[in-house]
Structure 1
Amino acid sequence: MQGRTLTAIEHQVLPVGTGDAALSPADAERLASVARQRPGFCTPGHRSIRLSQFVGLVSLGNGRVLEILPKVGEQVEPTRARGTLLRLLRWAYDLPSFAGVEVTHGLQQRTLLDVFVLAYLRALVPLVRAGLVRRYRSIEDDLGVVRGRLLLQRQVATHAMRIDRIACRFDDLDIDNSWNQVLKAALVATRPWARGLESGRLWLEMAAAFDEVRLRDDGLALHRNLPLDRQVSHYTPALQWAGWILQLLSPDVRSGSSSAPELLFDMNRVFELAVATRLRRRANSLGLHLHSQHSGRHLAHDQEDPHRRFFSLRPDLVLSHGETVVAVADTKWIRLGKDRRGYLVPVDAHAYQLHAYAAAYPCDEAVLIYPWHEDLDGARISGYRLPGGGDRRPVLHVVCADVEDEALPLYLAGESASFSRLA
């Protein structure tokens, strides 16, 4: 049975009712169940469901999948939005199928699930060509010659004095192990979605390669409990894809688990991870160090007891040179605008937040990073001097990351000695 994909955009309001463009009441209940396990995913309204900043895929049952794409500019084209998400996921999670490969127009034209299925099949190819991992497994069998240990009690009780059948226990290398069972469970789950010539061909090739591996109906649970083993470290990319595929399509989820089948990404987190990865690579080449989700500092302490601290801080990014903090930054996945004079103006609450960071992390630069969109063309340079202590007067810079570009370049509104080198 071929699946059907419904496409929506983050923050969109979806009608609930009849018609091809509307969700059914059962679909609305399915989304509500997702919201119970992912608070904030959506908000029910009067015959409607309002989505939030989560993007990705939700299984609606009966071969139907809801695809939610990110929104950057005012006008959203599904193909461009799909490309933006794939580009950010590649940076954020170092997805092997896209590493070093541009998100081409052909990939953008596919639905997200089609792309994920193809990526998974491509990740299996090098494993199969190199030979699937084998593990020794203890086997008892009746053979024509002695192999391993002779099972004397079974030999006497079953075969008496027959010399042509010998009961033995021996160890044999076998591909039917937990790692390959997880991969096969995900492979079987993708069958209805392996569409197109390349996906169909790869699926048949991979299915033949895993023919001797048992099909487990608890693939998702098995994936979550896989032991760490350095000898299967090359399986990591494929197992990552397998986990995502099983999370959305695994039979044990569809057949009554309390978890709603979904594969969702918080765009705030994806944008943060993508920017951090991009900046970290550049910072390392310059001898700088980038810390993600830095913790341990507070905004205030008790006036009588300095060891009692209050209002813990956790900036997204802290750039340092040795022990010296150079800059502190936060990423914000929202649509930035310009004022009437054409200056980029950050949200008030974001500016207050960075002011607090700059006070606790003595540095000269505080940076807000937003996604760039075409409506910001021609924006005027803007930098904001923050109040400081002593001789320190940090500057708040506004930086935009171009999520439409494969290199994820940074555009700076204002002169920044540190971030200009990272751009």
Structure 2
Amino acid sequence: MIEAALLGAGGRGMFAYGEYARKRPNEIRFVAVAEPDEERRTRFAEQHGIPEERRFETWERLLAHPKLCRALLVCTQDNDHYEPTMRALEQGYDILLEKPMSTDPSEALAIARRAEELGRVLTVCHPMRYSPYFQEAKRIVDGGEIGRVMTVQWTENVGYWHQAHSFVRGNWRNAGQSSPMILQKSCHDMDMLQWLIGTECEAVSSFGSLSYFHEGNAPAGSAARCTDGCAVERTCPFSAIKWYYNEKTDFVQRAASISNKLEDRWEAIRTGPYGRCVYRCDNDVVDHQVVNLRFEGDVTVSFTMTGFTEENARTFKIMGTEGQIRGNEERNELEVKRFGGARRMYYPEQVEGGHNGADTMLMSEFVKQLERGAPASLTSGIVSAKSHLIAFAAEASRRSGRTIDMKEYIESL
């Protein structure tokens, strides 16, 4: 059994990885936690039987102690990944690191290189590689069912409610406080694309902006908060009263672990960040963005990330020299059509857990990797850093209006 410590008992640490340990105590056990929020720290510690002396307010205090266990899960906020990860690597921890690795491209590379130099396990949380759904897509591509991949259309449907929750009102609304949206949300997709295509990305161009979620689009009669007598609250699709108080109570846990008591929920949306009008927040990340990619072998990719969708799942079309694959993650459906030939439908195995079971499979592989002392079977820190650099390059292109040569970009770091 692997003993582990957790830095950051937020949504991912608490529910994705903490729940895995609770359901599989024979595989992994948390023996220490660092979390500045006392309620979350206490809750996680009590769930996992962590003694008082191993409950820390900050990651600095936890890492000030001699090595406490085998593994460390870094689930702090985006801007707080680099320093604790580097310090933990030096102390001998094997690490599961939430994405993004860092909000700085040079730091992402430095983390990956240092882990290799020290011979430490570094698994970055790109769980989609571990999803049975995308595993099946990879098998189809590598098996040659559609011939040689030439073109990919890939869409990250963020979902209108997810955009409002996470990227307008929530923790990832402001690039200076977290990271650019293309990095935070879509380094997953950059990783999936380089994995499925199987060659290096050569060039990147991108366009995108924050076009809708700002005060210029606030409806007449709207207020600073949904609870402040907003004249359009009842018909607004982004109403905080609708999402956090009345209908969508599953969002209560996601929104800063608000209590299930109605009076507490009301107070949270009356005074907290999730009760603000979506047109009057301090958000600055894009609400839609496109990225064009060229990979080795003349493979071209058109990637779209948008917050203006009803669905909240990836859709894609992979086009090869002998056929095509259409994918809809939400329906767990893969359609393969060979040119002038058969049409096949695939419905991959579904596994319990977040991201359609991908979180479960990621944790399972991380534990197995530590137990067998072998390199990761699906990815590595260096590979993850490369996909991060594609996202960084896309943001550089969006801001500059230039096409980014990836070789030159990496050398400039």
Normalised by the length of structure 1, the TM-score is: 0.25
Indicate the structure (1 or 2) with the bigger Cα radius of gyration: 1
Q: Answer 1 or 2: which has greater strand percent.
A: 1
More helix by share: 2
